[in-house]
Structures are given as C-alpha cells and as structure tokens.
Structure 1
Amino acid sequence: MPHEVPEGQDFVAIVDYYSRYFEIYSIRNTLAATVIHYMKLTFSHHGIPEKLISDNGPQYASDEFAKFSKQYGFVHATSSPTHSQSNGLPEKTVQTAKHILAKCKSDHKDLYLGILEYLNTPLEGDTSPARALMSRRLHSIIPSTHGQLQPKLVHHKQYRNWLVRSREKQATYYSRQSSPLKPLEKGETVRIKKQGIWVPSTVTNQIDPRSYTVQTTDGREYRRNRRDLLKSREATLQELDPLNVLSRQHRSAIPLANQRTPSAQSSSLMANSSNMGNLPTHSPKPETITAPIATPKLEPHVTRSGRVVKPRTILSM
C-alpha cells in the first residue's frame, strides 16, 4: 500500500501475512502503473500470492489494476473505507517502517540496512520474519558465524500455533473494552455518517463478516464496516418516502369515510322509503369516521457499551 512519510516522500509497502516479512520501495508517484511495477518486482522475488488485500486507494480501484490481478491470477480484496483497523497488518507495517526511517535519519544510518536488521530480529515466537519466509538468517553487516547462516527449517505447525495464540491474545485484550456488534440482515434500516450527519440507509449486501454495502435515500451505495453503521428502528426507505406516505394515507382515508356495513345501508334505505314525506329538502353531510392514531410500542434500546435505555413515556392529557 502506498503511504506518504512526514518528509513528503512516498513509499509502497508490501507485507506477507504469514511471516510478516515486508518489502518497502521509494516511489516517485502513487499512480497505478508505478504501484503495479513494484508489485511485479516483489512477485518475481517471492511468488504470486493467492489473495492480495489493499486499501481503497484510486490506484487499486482502477481498471489497470483489475487487469493486472486477472493476468497474474490472484484475488484482490479491499478493506472497509474509513476503517483502517480492518487492514491492520499493513497499517502496522507502515508504522514500523516510519519508525525505522525516523531512527535511521536521526542516527544518519542507511534505511535499508535498518529494515534488513528488523527482518532478522526474532519476534515473540523466537522466529524472525526472514526465517519464517526463507528458513534461514539473512547475511548483514552484524557479525555472525557460519552456522548461524545455515538454513534451518521452521516447524510450520508450531509457528502456526504461535500465530493463533498471538492473535487470540490480542483479541482478548481488545475485547475487555468492547462488545461484539450484532450482524445486520439485508433490508435492515441503519444510519451512516456523511459529512458529519447521520443519514438513514438500507443494508443491500454483506461483503465480509463485518463489512456491508448500504443504500441511502438519494440512491447512492456506500461500503462501511459494521462499526460505522448504527442500527435504527426507523421504517425502511420505501416507508420513509413522502410519496409512499401520502399514497398510504389516501388509501386509508377512503374506507374510513364509507365505513358502513351493508346491513346498516339496507336498513337506512328501508327507513327512508317509509318516511319519504319527512325527509328534509337538503341532503345531510356524510359523517367521517376518524381512525384513532396508533401509538407505536417502543422497546428498550441497548447501546454499544451494553447500557439499556428505556423509551420515554408521554402521557396524553
């Protein structure tokens, strides 16, 4: 993913999810052709991945990148817009690269030597990114013995178990101050934030377990993470449409104005036929029966933090 460092220089970082081994390149621009060039260079060194996950930058949404993914035969997926946390490992890699860059600049050291030493540094599982990917230690300017540079096979099952435990540990710490959100169904009414205003919308599709596409009242579709969608108890978009509301009111007013049973009408006609002489010269005004307004029954609302908010009760005087 291309990223701009504080000095104004652009870099593209490509990281492997399994080994956390990453490549970083200084690029002159963030055009799709430039990013594709350095991805091809990385793929020629390490092979073509089965799946590539990126952010929603314009270079990844271009037709040129779609043709590139089809030509090289990998699946291209994007993270949820406005939610960089869903693309966590690349974002963390960018922060690591920025830290190495700042450290090398302050010490007047070479950036790529700093990255090389980081890739040789063992992580929590006593396995460095270089060993996890290549099963050997990379030669650097730090003195090392001949035996340390010999290939050493990494036990895949043990390394995989360490990755699972590490992610479960992170999830445990994260869950202490958060609660899981209920999944949304297609057709549910939610609200999304647009230019600082929460507008109503309807869920149209579920892309990932926590990523959805929604449609607003103006017909536009957006993709958002579940965290950026507020579940609403409002009516659907068709019910919120003013034209549909007027149509329903018009249809409901017709039977209310003529709400007389056939037996009542026949008895009225018989009474009129027997009392023709007592009828007034003018016809009486038809009575209009007004239907009572149904008060919707509100249920308690549970906030994200788990607090139960009871609906307000208004007494009719």
Structure 2
Amino acid sequence: MKSLARRFVYWPRIDTDIERWVRDCPECALSARTPPKVPLRPWPSAGAVYERLHMDFAGPCNDGFKYLVVVDAHSKWPEVIKMNTTSPPLLITQLTWLFSRYGFPKEIVSDNGPPFRSHDFSLFCRSRGIKQSFSPPFHPQSNGQAERFVDILKRQMRKCARNDKEWLQNSLLAYRSTPSEVLQGRTPAELFLGRPIRTILSLVKPSLRPVKHCATDQHRERMAKQFNRRHSARERPFQIGDRVMFLYYHNNKRTWTPGQIIGGSGVIWRVKAPGLDVVTIRHANQMRANPIHDIPIVPAEPTLPDQANGTDQTTTQIQPTRRVRFADEQQPQPNEAQTDGEQPIRRSARTRTPTRFLSPDASKSKYDLVPIRRNDQT
C-alpha cells in the first residue's frame, strides 16, 4: 500500500500516515491476523502433595456419563469420578469423599463452568480454606494439567471400553504405576503414596527379602505384652486329632459343644462336631481341652446356619415342651380308661355356631344386610 501511494503522490511522513490510517481502520482491525502467542508462563511447582489440584469435567462421553477429573499438580496422581450430572451438590458430595481420604488442598484450579462458579461450591471452598483459581474462558491451555488427562481418559475409553468392563480402574492403575520423565523417572504413586504400588508386573520380579520395620515390631511386642499381662494369657497348644469343647453359636446364644480338631495350625483350627455333622472354624480362645472323651451327643434336626458369626453349624438340639400346671388346678386321676392307654378328651365344651355361607340368588338385585349374632343358630 505504501509503495502504491508513492507512485502517485507524496508528502512528508507519508509512510507514518498510511500506517496510522490502516491501524485506525475498523474493518482492517476486524479482519487482521491472529497475533503470535505470548511466551508460556507455567504454573509454579507445587511443593507438596495436594497443595494444588486441577479439575475439569470430561463428557458427556460415549457411555452417556460425565467424569470428574482431578489431578494433583505435584505428583500427577489422577482421580476420576463417574457422575450422572454436574450439579453443584453432587460435585460437593464427591469432593467431600475425596478430601476425607487425602485431606483438603490449598488451591483448586478449574474452568468457569457453572458447577465451579456456583455459590454453593464457593462457600464449600471458603469454609475449608481452599483458594479458587479460574482459567480464562475458552482458554483450556491455562488448565493444561486437567485438560491433558481428559484427553488421555477419552482415548482410553475408545480403546478399552468395549472389551473391558473395568477399563477405568485398569487405566488408572497403569497410569499411576508408569514412570514419567516429568517426575524424573518416578511414578505418580511413588510421589503421592511414598511407595511403588504392587501390580501384576510385580509378580515377574518378586521381592524375596522381608521388609523389617523396627519401630513397628517394637510397638507390636509392647502391645502383645500388655494384652497378655491384662488377660493373664497363657499358651494352650492344640494338635490335629485332639478332642475339644468349642463354642457353638445359635439364636444369640452360645453353648460348649464337644468336637474334634481335623485341621488348622497356630490359633485357627477346623473343628468337627460328630453329633451335629458340621465342620466349623474356631479360634483357640473359643476352644478348651475336653478331658471327658465319651460325651453323649444327641443328633438334632437341621436348622439355619449361624449368620451372625459366619459359621456353618446347621443343627441344634430340640428340647421337648412340658405343660405347666398351676397349684390350684386339679391333677387328673387315673381311671380304667387311662390305664388302658386311652387319653381323656380335654377339648372345650362350648357351643359352636356353624359358619353361614352366602347362597347366590340370580333373581335378587341385592341382598339384605342382616347382622349375624354369635348365638344365632338359624
């Protein structure tokens, strides 16, 4: 444009005037090219786990659900929560469960979606001392931590959702246990949990050295000594084949029942009760030695299993019922009929009214409602 103008006209500062005229033109400003991007300003590094969380929603996905994606800025540990809606109450409920496991973060970074901008969610964050930071509208690059994992989640869904019903759990396990160059060759689990998590690949190279925890072992020893001293505990060795008395639980009651040990070791034993025809598992505290070997055991009718204690006893003994007679009641005197084996009839001698049934009559349009008296014999 400036070269074309010099061919025909000239005045002092012609180039400056042409540039100012183009710059002030409204049509030129609307159709101008997009300016180059400004230098990238990354988020400052998080100094600890759960110091800053990046959140975003993925979906609606192919399965019709939406997924809340939460990524820890320090360890890159992802959390994905399946949701039907993105309402603020449901979002608060899910984050409450999440924070109950790992604690409250210091800062939450999200977009300007209605759930994150709602008054309820803002009050939820302020009451817990959580700072809210929002990315500029329609600029997902500012929340790149969450946006990147949303892309990973959608690609994993397209790859695995058809053939794997547990694709979400398996994908999260694989991501959390994979070393990352951003984390200097460590996994998100090592930074977040402080240890590598055990996966199916751990079976390829198992650890054969037992891990010793001196402080934990000493605490357990002190706890065991305190328990033994308080309860005057002593060893009661049992062997397979020993006859014992074990606690039988039924109908919120417990009784000592004779049995025999058929398996187990240490303090957990499998006991068989011959008379009840059951095999159950009992702790050594639920058994005692049986000095009397020949104890009569009466077989009983089968009953329902003991569901309250998880045992598999299925029988109990049924006691015969006895009729209680009062002191002023006359005792029956034996007579000749009773001595021959016949029992006297003791049914009531009251007058029984026969049952009256409805007799349908097609010639009547309705029936008279006549109250029936108990003494009516007609």
TM-score using structure 1 length: 0.44
Larger Rg: 2
The structure whose residues are more often helix, as a share, is 1
**Bigger relative CO (Cα 8 Å, ≥ 6 apart):** 1
